[in-house]
Amino acid sequence: MNDANQEFIRPGYEVEPVPGFPHAPFDWTREQAEAIAKTEAITLTEEHWQVIRALQEICARNAEPSEAAMNTRDLHDALDEHFHAAGGIKHLYTLFPKGPLGQGCLLAGLQPPAGTQEPGMGSAV
């Protein structure tokens, strides 16, 4: 949901960005991400937080307001490029074993792209 809709949901509510996460969805918190990570058996490190920030920024800058989630291929390519120096998408699979798109978006408070939550799609199953 974009920030323009917040006035209709919470009239007069001023959204304060989460410190360190300027592109986070307005209803997202670090605590929510940590709780989800626990259920996904992921111990969040600074590298994980960098991926979460990158996903939030990429989606905030590129997603169409009418779309629930960014295109799977576009998001995959953007992450691969963003983390190219660290090993690209292959490295991200070491951080997110079920897939950096599905698990990453889940932790970032974003709608995962279609098909990324299915076993075998973007996972090491």
Domain presence at residue 118: no
Which domain, by its residues, includes 44? 3-108
CA distances from 73 to 6, 13, 20, 37, 67 (A): 29, 35, 27, 24, 15
Q: C-alpha angle with apex 115: 109 to 116, nearest 5 degrees?
A: 50
Domain presence at residue 45: yes
The 3-state secondary structure of the chain, one letter per residue: CCHHHHHHHCCCCCCCCECCECCCCCCCCHHHHHHHHHHCCCCCCHHHHHHHHHHHHHHHHHCCCCCCCCCHHHHHHHHHHHCHHHCHHHHHHHHCCCCCCHHHHHHHCCCCCCCCCCCCCCCCC
Domain presence at residue 70: yes
Q: What is the pLDDT of residues 12-37, one digit of tens each?
A: 555 567 788 888 888 899 999 999 99
Q: What is the pLDDT of residues 79-118, one digit of tens each?
A: 999 999 999 999 999 999 999 999 999 999 998 887 776 6
Q: How many domains does the chain have?
A: 1
Domain presence at residue 120: no
pLDDT at 20: 86
pTM score of the predicted model: 0.77
Domain presence at residue 121: no
Domain presence at residue 125: no
Domain presence at residue 25: yes
Give the pLDDT band of residue 125 (cuts 50, 70, 90).
very low
Domain presence at residue 119: no
